[in-house]
Amino acid sequence: MLSRYSDHLEILASEHRRRALQPRGGVDFSSNDYLAMAHAPAMREAVSAALTRGVSIGSGGSRLLRGNDPEHEALEREAAAFYGSEAALFLSSGYVANSALLSTLPQREDHIFYDALVHASAHEGMRLARCGRTEVPHNDAGAFEDAIVRWRGEGRRRRPWIVVESLYSMDGDQAPLDALADIAARHEAFLVIDEAHATGVFGPRGRGLAAALQGRENVIVLRTLGKALGCEGALICCAAVLRDFLVNRARGFIFSTAPSPLMAAAARAAIGLVAASDDRRAELRALCTHAERRLARHGAVATGSQILPLVLGNDARTMAIAWRLQAAGYDVRGIRPPTVAPGTSRLRIALTLNVTTADIDGLDKALERALA
Ligand code: PMP
C-alpha cells in the first residue's frame, strides 16, 4: 500500500533487509548460556521459591523513587561480598551498565584509552562521555602505556581510563590483565574491565579473570548476568564512592524503571549455584578441548575459551555457510560488520553445556559439507 511516507519507509526498509529475527532452533552453538543455567531446574526452583515468598515481578519505578527493592539490595550486598568489591550496583543490562559507567565516571579533564575490540555498549558510553578517547590496538599493553605517556598532561586531577574486556566476545581471547593493572597503577589510571564472557566461566568459583584485581580502588569490573549466569542484567562492582556517584548521576540508572526484583532474586540464586559449580566449569572446559581438536581443521581458532571464531572474511559467504549449518540442525550464527571489523566476518562458535561431544562431532561433519 502506498503511503504518504513511502519514500522514507523505503529507505528504512532497504537498510533493514540485511538482518532479520530468526526463531530459535537447532543445536545451540551460538548462545551465551555457557553453563546452561537459563533452564536449569535449580534456577526454576529458586525463581518459584522467590515468587512464593512474595518477591515482586515489577519494581514499579526508578530505584531513586519507590522502585528500590530489598532484593536489589540483597543482590548487590551478596555480589560485592562474593566478587570482593567494596560495593556493587545492579542495572538492567550490560549495555546500560557500560553506557552508564563510561558516560558518567570519567570527568571532563580525563581521557579514555580503549581496546580496539571493546563492545558496542562501551562505545555508546564513550560517545556520551565528557572527555576525549583514544583507540589502542587490540591486546597491546605496551601500546596502552605509550598512548598514556603521550597524553599525560599536567594537572594532578587528570586521570587516564583504561577500558578493556577480560575475554573478548567475538574473538574469545583474553586481555593481558596483569600488565594492564601494572600500567594503571604506574599512571594512576582507572581500569574498567568488562567480564561479560568470563563471569561464571573463569576464575576461582567462577569469579572471573579479574578476580585477583577486584578490590583495588582503581579497578571497576562489569559483570553481566545474562550469559553464564543465565539471567538478565549486570553488576558494576567498584568502590562505594563510585557506586554512589553512579546512583546520583548515571542517567540510565536514574531515569529508568528498576530491574525486576524477581530477576534480582534469580541472579542471587545463580551466583550461589554457579559458585558451587566447579563440575559445570570442568565439563565446559572438556567440551572446549574437544571442540578445539575437532574444529581446528576447518580454521576454528583454539582460544582456550568457550568462544571459537572461524574467520571467513567475506560477508556473503559467512552468512551462506551459517545458513547451511542451520539447515543441517546446528545453530551457528554468522557475525558481520559492524559487530566485527570489515573483512573479518566469521562464524562465532560458542560452546555451552547445552551441547554434547556428539553434537560437536556432528558440527564437525556439517562444517566439512558446508565449507566444501
Ligand atoms: N559487554 C560485552 C562484552 C558483551 O558481549 C555484551 C553482550 N553481548 C554486553 C556488554 C552487553 O550486555 P547485555 O547483553 O547484558 O546488555
Enter the C-alpha cell of residue 57: 515481578
Alpha helical stretches, state H, 250-356: 251-254, 261-275, 278-295, 315-327
Q: Atom 15 (ligand 1): residue with closest C-alpha? A: 94
CB of 72 closer than 8 Å to CB of 55: no
214 CB near ligand 1 (under 6 Å): no
Looking at residue 292, what is its pLDDT?
97
pLDDT greater than 70 at residue 156: no
CA of 221 to the centre of ligand 1 (A): 13
Average pLDDT, the chain: 96
Which of 92, 167, 169, 224 to mutate for ligand 1's pocket (most ligand atoms within 8 Å of CB)?
Answer: 224
pLDDT greater than 80 at residue 39: yes
* pTM as predicted: 0.96
119 CB near ligand 1 (under 6 Å): yes
**Domain definitions of the chain by residue range:** 24-39+278-371, 55-275
Cα separation, 301 vs 315, in Å, equals 18
pLDDT-wise least confident of 14-23, 140-149, 203-212, 241-250: 14-23
122 CB near ligand 1 (under 6 Å): no
Burial letters for 132-166: b for 16+ Cβ neighbours within 10 Å, e otherwise? ebebbebbebebbbebbeeeeeeeeebbbbbbbbb
Whole-number CA gyration radius for the chain: 21
248, burial (CB in 10 Å: exposed 0-12, middle 13-18, buried 19+) = exposed
171 CB near ligand 1 (under 6 Å): no
CA of 174 to the centre of ligand 1 (A): 16
N residues, the chain:
372
pLDDT greater than 80 at residue 69: yes
Q: Atom 14 (ligand 1): residue with closest C-alpha? A: 94
Phi, psi of 88 (to 5 degrees): -145, 150
* pLDDT, tens digit (0-9, with 9 covering 90-100), for 332-348: 999 999 999 999 999 99
| Sequence-ordered list of residues with C-beta below 8 angstroms from that of 247, at least 6 positions apart, any chain | 63, 64, 89, 253, 254
Looking at residue 11, what is its pLDDT?
84
pLDDT greater than 80 at residue 19: no
Enter the C-alpha cell of residue 338: 559492524
The mean pLDDT value for 352-357 works out to 98
Enter the C-alpha cell of residue 71: 532484593
pLDDT greater than 70 at residue 248: yes
- String of DSSP letters for 129-196: -SSEEEEE-TT-HHHHHHHHHHH--S-TT--EEEEEESB-TTT--B--HHHHHHHHHHTT-EEEEE-T
CB of 262 closer than 8 Å to CB of 47: yes
- String of DSSP letters for 35-89: TS-TT-HHHHHHHHHHHHTT--S---S-IIIII--HHHHHHHHHHHHHHT-SEEE
Which of 95, 173, 195 to mutate for ligand 1's pocket (most ligand atoms within 8 Å of CB)?
Answer: 95
Catalytic residues: 32, 119, 165, 169, 194, 197, 227
CA of 150 to the centre of ligand 1 (A): 31
165 CB near ligand 1 (under 6 Å): yes
95 CB near ligand 1 (under 6 Å): yes
Which of 30, 96, 119 to mutate for ligand 1's pocket (most ligand atoms within 8 Å of CB)?
Answer: 119
93 CB near ligand 1 (under 6 Å): yes
Q: What angle do CA 114, 256, 84 make, to 5 degrees?
A: 55
Looking at residue 17, what is its pLDDT?
64
The mean pLDDT value for 251-273 works out to 98
CA of 162 to the centre of ligand 1 (A): 18
pLDDT-wise least confident of 19-33, 180-194, 203-217: 19-33
CA atoms within 13 A on the CB side of 38: 14
Return the ligand 1 atom nearest residue 95 CA: 16
* Domain 55-275, CATH: 3.40.640.10
* 16 — pLDDT class (breaks 50, 70, 90): low
What is the ipTM metric for this complex?
0.99
Q: Write the CA distances from 265 to 21, 61, 78, 129, integer angstroms.
A: 30, 17, 11, 32
CB of 178 closer than 8 Å to CB of 211: no
Which of 32, 99, 121 to mutate for ligand 1's pocket (most ligand atoms within 8 Å of CB)?
Answer: 121
| CATH architecture assignment, domain 24-39+278-371 | Alpha-Beta Complex (3.90)
CA of 340 to the centre of ligand 1 (A): 14
| Sequence-ordered list of residues with C-beta below 8 angstroms from that of 4, at least 6 positions apart, any chain | none
* pLDDT, tens digit (0-9, with 9 covering 90-100), for 263-301: 999 999 999 999 999 999 999 999 999 999 999 999 999
pLDDT greater than 70 at residue 356: yes
Phi, psi of 111 (to 5 degrees): -150, 140
Looking at residue 4, what is its pLDDT?
85
Looking at residue 1, what is its pLDDT?
58
* pLDDT, tens digit (0-9, with 9 covering 90-100), for 305-325: 999 999 999 999 999 999 999
